Structures are given as structure tokens and as C-alpha cells.
Chain A
Amino acid sequence: MFKKIDQKTKLVIVFVIIALIAIGGVGIYHSVHPPVKVEVKTEKKKVSKKKAVEKEVAPKIEANTPKTDTSTKPTNTQEQSTQLKQATQTTPSTKKTPVPQKTQTSTSQAARKPEVAQTKQEAAVTQSQPVKQEPSEEQIHVTITGINENFYNSDMPLKEGATAYSILSETGLSYKKTGFGSATYVRAINGLAEKDHGPLSGWMYKVNGVAPNISAGGYKLKKGDQVVWYYVNYN
């Protein structure tokens, strides 16, 4: 075997053997003295415990928002997520006038005197259409929750092709990201960055109470979606 092999090929074979021996050696050394192993395992555990973390986050959001529903009982995560949804739905009603009513009044005003037509996009849309549609259908609700405070909590118009990531630029908050497209990762919002509060802290997002397992840059929003960005795993 390997009788008619030239010098270069021999060198390559020797290189392969040496590389495999080196890989084996380093690998066995790292198996005996695990450098990353422990961290990775704890990270996996934490990831699997994310539901538990959400449990902690949900009441905190509730504590921030004005209490409107007190009859709910926190028994499981699903109920809590609906509770969270309710909380995010009810919050704008206390902070400012309810948006659907506002736009409706604005459109009725526009119908009466067009020169007072609002600059709001919904008003313009409904003005052009004879049949008045529900304005909240074209809107999404965005909540950005830091540590014990809401950075942003408001409705916004849904733009064409908006993703859970692209709405961040419309909130007026500063943010940092890495990657692009469906590989976007949000590192910081409003100065609150990942790993600021513990090695596993960072930003996650939910749409309608469910945390999608794809990047925010790849999640296309539909009308009426409730987007929540929240900071997790802080100490």
C-alpha cells in the first residue's frame, strides 16, 4: 500500500496524522480539564428555565403598570402570559387617551372640516376610504421593559414589512445590535446591555405572549400584535 506515493503526498499524510494526534491530545486534555463545559451546561439549564424566568418578569411588569385586573390567579405561565397581555393592553388607557377612540374622533373631525385633518397616518387612511375600519387593526402595541421600569409602552402604526426588530428604531430609544436580517441579535436597548447584570442577562422578545424561537429580525409582525421586549436573567 502507498508504494507509488510522491514526497508531497507523504507530507500531507504526515500532516493529517499529526493534526489528528494534536486534536486528540488537546481534546483529551480539555475533557479532563473542561474549560467551557461547565459554563455551557449551566447556560443550557438556564435556557430551559426561561419559562421560570418569564414567571418572574411577568409580575414585575404588572407591578409597573397600573393595576386594573386583580382577580387573576397566577397558577401557570399561560395564564400569566394572558395576564401580561391584558396588562399591556390596559396600560395605554391610563397613560393617555385610548388610541382607537382618539383616531375615531380625529376621523370624524376630518369628515366635518378637512383642513383640521390630523397628520396621523390612520386618519389619512380612513379619510380616503369611505367605509370606516377599526383603526387599531392597523396598529401594533409595543412594550419595552427594562429592570423594574418600562422604557416604552405605546401603540404604533404597523409599517409594511415590519419585524419585531425594526420597530425598535421607531421607538426613539437607542439600541445596539449585531448581525442583520434573520440573524439579528439585539445587544442593548436604551443603554441597558446584555451581560450588564449577570452573565446570562440580555434582551428577549415576545409576540402575543409567546416567545418565538427565531430572531427578531426575521419575525414579521401582523396587525394587532402585542410585542414585548423584556430584559431577562438579571440579578
Chain B
Amino acid sequence: MSGTTSTTIKYRPVKEIALIGLLSAFNIASRIGLQALPNVKPVTSIIILSVILFGLSFAFKVTVVTTVVSNIFLGMGIWTFFQILAWFVICILTEILVDLFHIRENKPHYVLMACFSFVMGYVFGFVVSLDQFVIGGLGLFIPYYVGGLLFDTFHAVGNFFFYLMLAPILYKIFEKDLKKSEQN
């Protein structure tokens, strides 16, 4: 389905670990620094971009490190599992989208992808709300999810603007590596 050439950036393990650390550190710092703004965080945008740029397994690693380490500061709980799961689902959905529309080869307009990350805000809210589905079934889940829709909207709007902000920056930073990996 996908093109003949894989256009994700491949690094040697050491460099990959360093980059995972850097991106996770950015996510953690943003989660802790932007606590005052409900759900307006660049984390989801960063994860979507890292799926596009570095591939699925890299994004999984960023997700796990980000969630576990930032929840050491913000509070551990059952939601940690569901946050990881939600970002995994977002990673997989992004990968499916990327493969279907050849996003790595075609590079669609930033606004289109920003709209996709807008939708992912609601997906995240839905999956995180699923913990109430486990605890109390549908009767608990529906009021909980509907009550959180406003905050999902904050998340979605934040994703939209953070994607528009971060995508040009990250594409520019990794442009050289992207071209190098395309030649190989």
C-alpha cells in the first residue's frame, strides 16, 4: 500500500534514544508548565508529528516516556494506563491515515493535518473516558463523557494551533535527515 521507499527518519539507537528523550522532555515540560490551561498541550501534536516523521515505534516510545514521567509529577492513577492507551490509539490512527493517503510522500497542507489533530483531541477524550466505562458501565460512562466534552474541545483547539505552530518547525529541523533517509 505505502510507497516503495520508507520516508520515515531512521537513526542509530543512541541517537534515537537521545531524540526520544528530547521530545519527551518537551512534552513533560509542556504538560507541567501549561497545567493552568485545561488540556491545551502540544503533546498530541508532537506525537502525531513523530509518527509522521519517525514512524510508529518511535512514537510509542515517546508516548510511554511522556506519560509515565509526567504523571510522576502530576499524579499516578488508573488514568495513566488510559492516557497511554489513548495516545497509542492516536498513533495507530495516524499511521493508518499516513499509509492510506501517502502523507509522507505527498506532504499535505499543514491545515489539513491540523484538522486531523483537532479530531484526535476528541478521540483522546473518548479513550480516556473509557475508564469510567470499565468502572461503571454505560450508565456512568455517558454522563462522564458528555461532561468532559467541553474540555475535549479545549484539547482539540489546542491541538489545532499547536500543530500549526510545531509542524513547520519540526519539518524544518529534520529536513536534512528526511532527505538523507529518502536517498537511502
Contacts and interface: CB of A to CB of B under 8 A. Distances in A.
B6 A31 contact: no
Interface string A27-49: 11111111111001100000000
Given A16-B88, A19-B85, A26 B136 contact: no
A182 to B, nearest CB: 14
Contacts of A40: 136, 139-140
Contacts, number: 74
Contact of A3 (B1, B85, B134): B1
Interface residues of A, number: 29
B60 A37 contact: no
B100 A1 contact: yes
B89 interface: yes
A33 B135 CA distance: 11
B60 A32 contact: no
Q: Is the interface of A mostly helix, strand, loop or mixed?
A: helix
Contacts of A16: 85, 88-89, 92
A23 interface: yes
A19 B78 CA distance: 13
A104 to B, nearest CB: 47
Contact of A34 (B57, B130, B136): B136
A22 to B, nearest CB: 8
Nearest to A33: B137
Interface in B130-145: 130, 133-141
Interface in B112-158: 130, 133-141
Given A35-B137, A36-B136, A9 B130 contact: no
Contacts of A20: 85, 89
B97 to A, nearest CB: 11
Contact size class for B? 20 to 34
A4 to B, nearest CB: 5
B95 interface: yes
Contacts of B6: 4
B99 interface: yes
A16 B130 CA distance: 13
B35 interface: no
A2 B99 contact: yes
Contacts of A2: 95, 99
Question: Across chains A and B, which 3 residue pairs bring their CB atoms closest together, nearest first?
Answer: A30-B137, A31-B137, A27-B133
Interface of A: 1-6, 8-9, 12-13, 15-16, 19-20, 23, 26-37, 40-41
Given A30-B138, A37-B137, 16 more contacts: A1-B2, A1-B96, A8-B57, A20-B85, A23-B133, A23-B134, A27-B130, A27-B141, A28-B137, A29-B137, A30-B134, A30-B136, A30-B137, A31-B138, A34-B139, A40-B136
